[in-house]
Amino acid sequence: MCGVIGVHDWSPHIGAVCEHFGRTYTDVDGHQHIHGANLGVSARVSEGVRLSAAGVGRGLALVDVLMRSGAYIEWSAAQRVLTSARLGVWIFARRRASERRYWR
């Protein structure tokens, strides 16, 4: 299950970043966002997953492996966590999302 996020502190960013997020973030079922802060994977499925990525990007790598294995991914807006707007994470996520390989 890949859930959605809310950001509780935008202070590392200029106001335009928060406004852009509000205009462009798809907060509905089927969203296809990948947030390491809001992933749910059963123990049975995750046992066989081996990741080489460390730190930032582990959530993206996990979902990539699961999708390539044919696992069903539930893209739910019902599951929400609050997270930070750390600058490095957002730059990394934007770069990876632009590769488009994580989208159906």
User: 9 CB contacts (<8 Å, ≥6 apart)?
Assistant: 84, 85
Write down the pTM of the prediction.
0.66
18 versus 45: the higher-pLDDT residue is: 18
Interval 49-89: pLDDT, tens: 776 655 657 788 888 888 888 888 999 999 888 887 766 55
Domain boundaries, the chain: 2-98
